[in-house]
Each structure stands twice: as C-alpha cells, then as structure tokens.
Chains A and B, each alone.
Chain A
C-alpha cells in the first residue's frame, strides 16, 4: 500500500490543518505531562534528585520550552471549544471557519500577554 499510494499531500483546507495542529499540540502536551508526572513523583523517591530536576526549570531553555508549552495548551484549549461547538451547536458546521479565525485571534492575544510577562520574568534582571 504505502509504496504505491504515496503521491502528493492532500490539499485540505482550514479544517484539516486545524486538525493537524490539534493533534500535534495534543501529543506535545501529553509528552510534557508524562515527564512532569515523573519529575514530581521524584519527591517521594529522593528529595535531592527532585530539587535538582526542579532547578532545571529555572534555565533559559526551559523558559523557552514553557513558552512553547503554553502556546500548545492555549491552541488545544480554544480549538477544543470550537470542536465541541462544531459537534453540538446547530450552526457549528456552518461557522467552523469563522470560529477557527476566532480561535487564532484569541490565541494570539492570550499568548502574547503570557509571553511578555513570562519572558520578562525569565530573562529580566531579577
């Protein structure tokens, strides 16, 4: 199948790419939660190791990672509300495209607010 059916990428519209974005951000959030559950569980195993791991959250790389994580969570959350409306609001399928633009605008505004505050704390002179 794979060697015979591969051709061009299917050129879907907004709906398909929002689905791709939802899937990718979902996987990112899942992987983060997996690691995060493991690192907080370390407190029951070895308090010293726990402190060492948590201190890595103070590094600039982690600050950038957290920015990306919040971007993923915000998109997943807002688009998730859109998907609920598509499924259960009578006009949802008709206005799915407009709702996606709403999601993206809301996402930019809320993310910009977070990024300014978060990055100024992480990289500011404290």
Chain B
C-alpha cells in the first residue's frame, strides 16, 4: 500500500526580485465626482476622494474603489467593464469617455480627475442618467432589417464591397457618448442625435435592406440630420472610433440625392 502523498501547494513562493515582472507603479490621485443624491439634497455637488491607484488601473477601478472601500452610496452603471457593453459612458475631465477604457495614467494625475454624468439626459442619481429619450430616438429609426419580397431559402448574399459600405457604423455599442456630447442635443432634446443617425446609416447603406427611403424620410424631419451643426464632438467622443460626423454627412447627402 502506498502512502498518500499530500497534494503539492499550488502557490509557489517566489523570492523577491524573481520573476522579473516588475512592480506596477502606484500613485495618488484625487477623484472629483459630481454627486447627486435626490433623496438627500436638492442640488448636485462635487465630492473629492483621495485614492492610491496603480498604473494598470482605469477610471472605473477608481470608482469601484470608492464604492467598495469608501462610500457605498456612489452610484454608476457598468456591466462588462471591457468597452463592449457601453454602460459606463461618463464625462471624464470634461469629455465623454468610457470609464472602463480610460487609464488613469493617461490622465493628468497631478490635478483632480473630474467625473460627471453625461449631459443632456435627465440625471437620476450621481452618474446615472435616464437613457429612455436616447433609446426612444434609436427605436424611431427602425434599427432592424426590413426587406421586401420573398424570404430567401438560403442566406442573404452581400458582396464584400457592399458590406464595407456600412462597416464603420456597425461598431456602435449605444453608450450615448456621442449623443450626449452634442451641443445641439443638450439644448434640443427632440433632436434624434448622432447615435440614432449612426444606426440608421448602418441600415440605409446595407444592400440587403429595403427601407432606406423610409429611414431617410424619418431623418429628413426638422429634428433629424439637418440639426447637425458639425461640431465633431461626437466623432471625438466615440469610444469605438466611428466617424460619426462623416456618417451624418453621408445621410444628409443621401437625403438630397436619394440614390440608395
């Protein structure tokens, strides 16, 4: 009979300096968050948090640190935390960014880092806004395939060139960074906004779709593409790098030419 050997420990103790990974540098930051607690105060106010963070940390990690270790009442949205779900768009140092894609070391850590909710949508609490007006505009442009005639028995064919035509606008994750960076949208909540136009563009220029004219008609409204004043805030804010203003300009031209 063999004696039962104890399982070797899975954790191996390394001597300091072994491994060569190097220490991740740490630094102190001041996170200045625009707080709004409707149950407690009528007005929004700034609150500073002093944190020690690491070179690999993002703004989202700093918010987590505040919520988990300092003040559990801090409210913000996040889901995937990897730039795919589009939940954590917020105004970081005055510009719309995803908190999960903004590294702290890329910001000026000698000054307080300001974090605010996105503009133009009704504020509900801290960094959370009511996204319903945003999604309402999105629904109005009918963001789904509409085709006439018989359903094909196989897949709907599309050439690589036809697919390329609207490739840029398929990248949208509906984070609202573009729409809430638009000065027109801040003052005119009726404006469809960049995100809805980007998603209309995705179907208008899709060769398999037959409702392009209908979508162009919707966007030919006075609150449609003609509200765009080409400030390029949306193109600059998009975390997916979509050329938003270019897409809007293409829709404007398509309305005038009706060549789709």
Contact = CB atoms under 8 A, between A and B. Distances in A.
A87 B116 contact: no
A19 B230 CA distance: 8
B42 A3 contact: yes
B203 to A, nearest CB: 21
Given A10-B181, A87-B249, A96-B230, A4 B123 contact: yes
A88 interface: yes
A8 B94 contact: yes
B233 interface: yes
B58 interface: no
B55 interface: no
Classify chain B: how many residues form its interface, as a range: 20 to 34
A5 B117 contact: yes
Interface string B31-74: 00010100000111000000000000000000000000000000
Contacts of A5: 44, 117, 119-120, 123
B96 to A, nearest CB: 8
B43 A4 contact: yes
A83 B120 CA distance: 24
Contacts of B117: 5
A44 interface: no
A16 B233 contact: yes
A93 B249 contact: yes
B252 interface: yes
A92 B249 contact: yes
A7 B231 contact: no
A95 B231 CA distance: 13
Nearest to B34: A7
Nearest to A9: B94
A15 interface: yes
B93 interface: yes
B230 A86 contact: yes
B198 to A, nearest CB: 13
A126 interface: no
B43 A3 contact: yes
Contact of B230 (A10, A11, A13, A87): A87
Interface string B230-258: 11110110000001011001001100000
A11 B95 contact: yes
A1 interface: yes
B38 to A, nearest CB: 8
A86 B236 contact: no
Contact of B122 (A1, A6, A13, A16): A1
Nearest to A13: B236
A103 B44 CA distance: 40
Contacts of B93: 11
A14 B231 CA distance: 8
Most buried by B among A5, A13, A88: A5
A82 B250 CA distance: 16
29 contacts: A3-B42, A3-B43, A4-B43, A5-B123, A6-B44, A7-B91, A8-B116, A10-B183, A11-B95, A12-B181, A12-B183, A12-B231, A12-B232, A13-B232, A15-B231, A15-B236, A19-B229, A19-B231, A83-B230, A86-B249, A87-B230, A87-B249, A87-B252, A88-B249, A93-B230, A93-B235, A93-B246, A93-B249, A96-B245
Given A5-B120, A16-B233, A96-B232, 7 more contacts: A3-B42, A4-B44, A10-B119, A10-B183, A11-B95, A13-B232, A96-B230
A-B CB proximity, top 8 nearest: A15-B232, A11-B94, A93-B246, A7-B116, A19-B231, A16-B231, A8-B94, A4-B123
